[in-house]
Structure 1
Amino acid sequence: MSPFNHFYRLSNIFIGSYKNVLHKRTNPFNLTQVCNYTRKSAEQMLGIDKPKRPLTPFFKFMAQMRPALLAKNPGMTSKEAITWSSKHWQELDAETKSQMVKEYEKDMEDYKKIKKLYESSLSEDQKEEIKRVKEEIAAAREKRKLKAEFKEMGRPKKPMSSYFLFMQSRKDSFQGNNVKEYQEKVRTDWQKLSDNERQKFEKQAQDLMNKYKKEIEAWEVKMISIGRGDLVREKSSKPKKSKTVKEQ
């Protein structure tokens, strides 16, 4: 028998805490507003204990092998670990695979039952909160994707404002001090600048902005020419106000 045949006996730790719901755990939900959006699900971010779908036999096998594999090969990359797991999964004996498939099917039956319990236990307010957070997560994901595409396609970066140019000119005075105190001092110094001193930074910012506008227009023309018009800014469709001629 294959040395891997004991894996089917291991409990499915990846189904997660949904079994607590089946066992009639009281007060399973805790709606806590979370502002920073990470890779967590909407339910996790709201503190809602949602049942986890069981892993397929292959992914369960890979997850069970990973700790020992990385312990022996600490420098192994994720890609290498997946390649190794795929190779050994193909070599796994039919009996072990069959047992793991049976376990997966049983886990899926439990999962479907408990998922129904979970869904019926959600209040309308919880459902609305989950929907809202999912929409915000999707929007944040699209924003990250767009930002990555901009970087990949070499989109010109918008220049700093006159105030941030001034702040950059004062960065040598920071020297590891408290960030909040440093920002407050820069703000105070900015307000104390004479008109002539401030105009220097405003002119620098304006020159950079003029250069940026030319670069972004050229970049957008290029994107349209290569079929990436989806990366181009939407032009304002507001009609320009026509000048009225005063009657004499």
Structure 2
Amino acid sequence: MSSFAQLNRLSNYFVGSYKTVLNGRANWFTQTQVCSYTRKSAEAKLGLEKPKRPLTPFFKFMSQMRPALLAKNPGISSKEAIAWTSKHWQELDLQTKSQMAKEYEKDIEDYKKIKAMYESSLTDQQKEDIKRLKEEMAAAREKRKLKAEFKELGRPKKPMSSYFLYIQSRKDSIKGVDLKEYQMQAKADWVKLSGNEKAKFEKQAQDLMSKYKKDLEAWELKMITMGRDDLVRSKPSREKKPKASEKKQ
């Protein structure tokens, strides 16, 4: 292949069929899933268009079969769609699979070249921003994972403060009111609240906190017996007080 033809193929691949196939993959589940939430990459959040890996032969086949599948089964679920596609993929003739595999190898070669061009075009600041954002996103994922695990294992929830208990006590008055205005008014009313009235909410908050601490300790002991020490809060180590003999020295 001449250098001009190769360059033309790369260009068409990058701006044409490459994105078309990717869009087909991205839209595959939007009509079949209840939630259409898609997580953005660090690069996307920074407004950078990072090249994406081409679809594997199976996922490319899935994107090609999508229109026919949805036409016959408009309300099909994601699980059913994958099962249907897997069945038809297994029945596909070897010659077609072989051709798709060859196309995938070419797409991978183009992808590697485009990726190298992309990475070389990044500034040091952009690389630093991507690294920082990826670390933040990884930390957020771990936090969500831990929160889900706490919920599954029945970790006691921290109770509300006295102020939020007050807000909850007047939740009926929020109906038909702008949320921002309601919050501002509630805050102003809390400030004006008498000492005796505030004391009731503060006492309620203290009682709930005492119960929470006991429940949390019991839950942590249970986790330790289950071998899940990693979910138990680390206790701060107390500094040993010097002995009287050491003080004299």
User: What are the Cα deviations for residues 141-178 of structure 1, in whole angstroms up to 9, with x where unaligned?
Assistant: 00110011011111111000000000000111111211
Q: Which has the higher contact order (CA 8 A, sep 6+)?
A: 1
Counterpart amino acid of residue 183 in structure 2 = Q
CA distance in 1, matches of 2:99, 2:90: 15
Shift of 1:233: 1.4
Counterpart amino acid of residue 68 in structure 1 = A
Q: Match of 1:161?
A: 161
CA distance in 2, matches of 1:166, 1:39: 36
Shift of 1:100: 0.7
Unaligned runs of 5+ in 1: 1-9, 17-37, 243-248
Counterpart amino acid of residue 69 in structure 2 = L
Query: How many percent identity over aligned positions?
Result: 74
CA distance in 2, matches of 1:80, 1:240: 63
User: What are the Cα deviations for residues 114-162 of structure 1, in whole angstroms up to 9, with x where unaligned?
Assistant: 1111111000000000001000110110011001101111111100000
Shift of 1:206: 0.3
Q: Match of 1:211?
A: 211
Could you say what secondary structure the match of 2:177 adopts?
coil
* CA distance 1:124–1:75, change in 2 (3 Å): same
Shift of 1:240: 7.9
Could you say what secondary structure the match of 1:49 adopts?
coil
CA distance in 2, matches of 1:74, 1:101: 30
Q: Is the 8 A contact 2:166 2:201 kept in 1?
A: yes
* CA distance 1:65–1:237, change in 2 (3 Å): farther
Shift of 1:218: 0.5
User: What are the Cα deviations for residues 47-77 of structure 1, in whole angstroms up to 9, with x where unaligned?
Assistant: 0011110111011111222343133222222
Could you say what secondary structure the match of 2:155 adopts?
coil
More helix by share: 2
Counterpart amino acid of residue 54 in structure 1 = P
* CA distance 1:107–1:123, change in 2 (3 Å): same
Q: Match of 2:124?
A: 124
Q: Match of 2:101?
A: 101
CA distance in 2, matches of 1:160, 1:241: 36
Q: Match of 2:73?
A: 73
CA distance in 2, matches of 1:71, 1:231: 48
Name the Cα RMSD after superposition: 2.0
* CA distance 1:72–1:164, change in 2 (3 Å): same
Shift of 1:238: 4.7
Shift of 1:87: 0.8
Q: Match of 1:188?
A: 188
Once structures 1 and 2 are overlaid, which stretch shifts more, 227-236 or 215-224? 227-236
Counterpart amino acid of residue 229 in structure 1 = D
CA distance in 2, matches of 1:168, 1:240: 44
TM-score norm. by structure 2 comes to: 0.81
Counterpart amino acid of residue 203 in structure 2 = K
Shift of 1:95: 1.5
* CA distance 1:241–1:67, change in 2 (3 Å): farther
Once structures 1 and 2 are overlaid, which stretch shifts more, 230-239 or 186-195? 230-239
CA distance in 2, matches of 1:66, 1:220: 49
* CA distance 1:15–1:173, change in 2 (3 Å): closer
Shift of 1:186: 0.6
Q: Match of 1:149?
A: 149
Alignment of 1:20-31 (within 5 A): none
TM-score norm. by structure 1 comes to: 0.81
CA distance in 2, matches of 1:178, 1:190: 18
